[in-house]
């Protein structure tokens, strides 16, 4: 559980110091006030990226300032600090003064996040949905993480062989190991999707009951008649023309279909918003079911393009999970949801300053 968050010189926030306990915390204010920056700072500390997926931090430092910092105190894991000086590498430090790697912080600070870019889970490229599926494996299966990294190294070597125009025997020397590792990733992704599916169904029934959504894992190659190693051999000439490996676990897709069509084509904008929200909240429930406690939940611009009934249902799911949640919204929508939401505290954000109501 997060107990305290301190931010210095990040975007419009010159300095903020917010304390937390369990429950749901609301941040409201006009556009550009800094309310999104408050919760995005936690996402930045945990993942190393902004909500938009950018890893470059210098543009986030306030104009005229040399650097910025984010400090988070956690009830179980102590303090985490991100320091960034303009033009230099960032530093991640734990309270023990140990320098940490980004993936180590991410494991200790698991997040389920819904923000303005979340529609990409429906409308975006396959890599977004692949990362969605791999999120759970990252937090629960270290062997999968290691094999995924191994696969990436092997793929890099095979692609280099293709670009250099090396003989077939040298390109194929990577195929067996790459194929075996890809099959391993496929198996674990399918197993994970089976464990996630009941929670997805629960959230879809609550948030999108009017549609039957099919969720299909496509491993990245035709698996009906051949294993991945055999498939590599059959597509070698095509790969030579492309200059890279066109099939494999790195091309896996989580297909979302409604009525036999892609969800991105069939659903309205509001329905896509609810589908994306349902998929993210399913991660919340799955994680709690497996670990016994929920991850932190960050909901940005909550209620936008979401009807009141859908918003209320989503908040019920978050509240019932026992998750600590930080939510940003507008003044109007805040009043809509406060009447039936178990609120821990409400903060008003204006001109980069945070004040508790």
pLDDT per residue, tens digit, the chain (357 aa), is 999 999 999 999 999 999 999 999 999 998 889 999 999 999 999 999 999 999 999 999 999 999 999 999 999 999 999 999 999 999 888 876 678 899 999 999 999 999 989 999 999 999 999 999 999 999 999 999 999 999 999 999 999 999 999 999 999 999 999 999 999 999 999 999 999 999 999 999 999 999 999 999 999 998 666 899 999 999 999 999 999 999 999 999 999 999 889 999 999 999 999 999 999 999 999 999 999 999 999 999 998 878 888 899 999 999 999 999 999 998 888 888 887 777 778 999 998 889 887
CA distance 106 to 139: 9
* DSSP-assigned beta bridge partners for residue 4: 19, 73
Half-sphere exposure of 205 (CA within 13 A, CB side): 6
Predicted TM-score (pTM) of the model is 0.94
* Alpha-carbon torsion angle 327, 346, 38, 6, nearest 10: -130
Domains and CATH numbers, the chain: 1-110+295-357 (3.40.50.300)
Task: Give the 3-state secondary structure percentages of the chain, helix then strand then coil, rounded to 5.
Answer: 45, 25, 30
Question: What per-residue confidence (pLDDT) applies to 332?
Answer: 84
Length of the chain: 357
């Amino acid at each position: 559980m997060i107990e305290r968050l301190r931010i210095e010189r990040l975007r419009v926030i010159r300095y903020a110091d917010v304390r937390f306990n369990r429950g749901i915390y609301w941040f409201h204010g006009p556009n550009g006030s800094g309310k999104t920056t408050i919760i995005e700072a936690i996402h930045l500390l945990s993942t190393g990226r902004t909500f938009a997926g950018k890893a470059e931090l210098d543009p986030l430092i306030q104009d005229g300032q040399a650097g910025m910092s984010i400090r988070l105190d956690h009830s179980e894991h102590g303090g985490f600090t991100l320091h960034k000086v303009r033009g230099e590498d960032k530093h991640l430090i734990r309270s023990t003064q140990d320098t940490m790697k980004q993936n180590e912080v991410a494991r200790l600070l698991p997040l389920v996040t819904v923000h303005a870019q979340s529609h990409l889970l429906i409308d975006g490229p396959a890599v977004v949905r692949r990362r969605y599926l791999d999120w759970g494996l990252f937090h629960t299966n270290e062997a999968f993480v290691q094999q995924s990294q191994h696969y990436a190294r092997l793929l890099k070597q095979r692609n280099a062989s293709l670009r250099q125009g090396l003989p077939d025997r040298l390109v194929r020397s990577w195929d067996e190991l790459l194929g075996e590792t890809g099959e391993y990733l496929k198996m674990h992704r399918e197993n994970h999707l089976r464990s996630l599916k009941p929670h997805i169904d629960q959230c879809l029934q609550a948030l999108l009951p009017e549609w039957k959504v099919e969720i299909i894992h496509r491993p990245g190659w035709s698996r009906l008649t051949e294993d991945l190693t055999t498939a590599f051999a059959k597509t070698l000439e095509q790969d030579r023309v492309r200059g890279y490996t066109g099939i494999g676990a790195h091309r896996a897709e989580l297909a979302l279909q409604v009525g036999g069509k892609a969800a991105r084509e069939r659903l309205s904008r509001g329905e896509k918003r609810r589908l994306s929200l349902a998929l993210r909240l399913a991660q919340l429930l799955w994680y709690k079911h497996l670990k016994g406690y929920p991850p932190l939940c960050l909901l940005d611009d909550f209620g936008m393009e979401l009807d009141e009934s859908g918003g209320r249902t989503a908040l019920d799911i978050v509240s019932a999970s026992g998750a600590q949640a930080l939510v940003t919204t507008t003044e109007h929508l805040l009043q809509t949801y406060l009447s039936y939401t178990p609120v821990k505290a409400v903060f008003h954000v204006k001109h980069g300053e945070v004040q508790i109501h």
